[in-house]
Structure 1
Amino acid sequence: MFIGAISKLTDASPKAIRHYEALGLLGKVGRAGVYRIYSDANVEQVRLIKQAQALGFRLSELGTVLSDAAPAPDWQGFLRQIADKRRAIAAEIASLQAVDLQLGRIGDEIAACLDSQSGHAHCDPAVAATPKPPA
């Protein structure tokens, strides 16, 4: 099939498909004169690439598991990359939870400060909003 057909089947632009090929992510793409002839296997590769990108993988990361030299994806390598990505996401979640906790503390301090102002006590919400190192 020509590039227009694979583009319609995968919802990838012809430019993206040519880029994937240039990076060596599609394996061997056949030719008929100056035209590229894509196979069903190429369709599956493009779908896999797009799915991996939607899950946060960069094309450079996929180069190690989708290679011109290999007849099929390196599924074991891909499993390792998935595990690495999940560990990175877990670390990011923990970091965001720590930030959320600190924001909650600052919000509570500002609210307490504002409440105490109604009782004529002097309080500066800007000072209360100054981040404190995590305990």
Structure 2
Amino acid sequence: MQIGELARLTRTTPRALRLYEARGLLGPVPRRGRYRHYHAGHAAQVRLVRQALALGLRMADLARLPQHTGADALAQAAALLQARRAQVQRELQRLRAQDDALAALEHALLHCPEADPTGKRPLALDCAPA
């Protein structure tokens, strides 16, 4: 199939496909004259690349992975996924702390007698939760 057909099939653009190819994410793409000729394996690879990018992996990280599917390649891919999961866990902790701080502020605004919505007195954030 040609690039337009692969783009439609994978719901991406020819420009993105050229970029993936230039970064080495699709493996070898045979040509006939000026035209690239893709096969079903390329479509699967494009879907995998798009999924990885949507999950926050970087194209540079994906490009460093070996193109073969041996045990070493799978171990490298697993390590990349573990690193991304660790990043997500750190972000979740940061967001939980932010949510706790927002909840404390909301409580202070709604339930603390010292809270002054007019802004004439400082807001007391240290009142005890109800």
TM-score (norm 1): 0.78
Number of aligned residue pairs: 121
Segments of 5+ residues of structure 2 without an aligned counterpart are none
Aligned amino acid, residue 53 of structure 2: Q
Alignment of 1:38-117 (within 5 A): 38-65=38-65, 67=66, 70-72=67-69, 74-113=73-112, 116=113
SS at match of 2:64: coil
Cα deviation 1:7-44 (Å, max 9, x = unaligned): 12211111110110111111111010111111222111
Instruction: State whether structure 2 residue 25 is matched by structure 1 residue 18.
Output: no
Structure 1 position 128 matched with structure 2 position 123 = yes
Q: Give the Cα–Cα distance (whole angstroms) in 2 for the partners of residues 20 and 129 of structure 1.
A: 54
**Which gives a bigger RCO, structure 1 or 2 (Cα 8 Å, sep 6+)?**
1
Q: Which runs of 5+ in 1 are unaligned?
A: 118-122
**Alpha-carbon distance, 1:101 to partner:** 0.8
- CA positional deviation for 1:129: 6.3
Q: Secondary structure of 1:44's partner?
A: helix
Paired-residue identity, %:
35
Shift of 1:106: 1.6
> Residue type matched to 1:128 in 2?
L
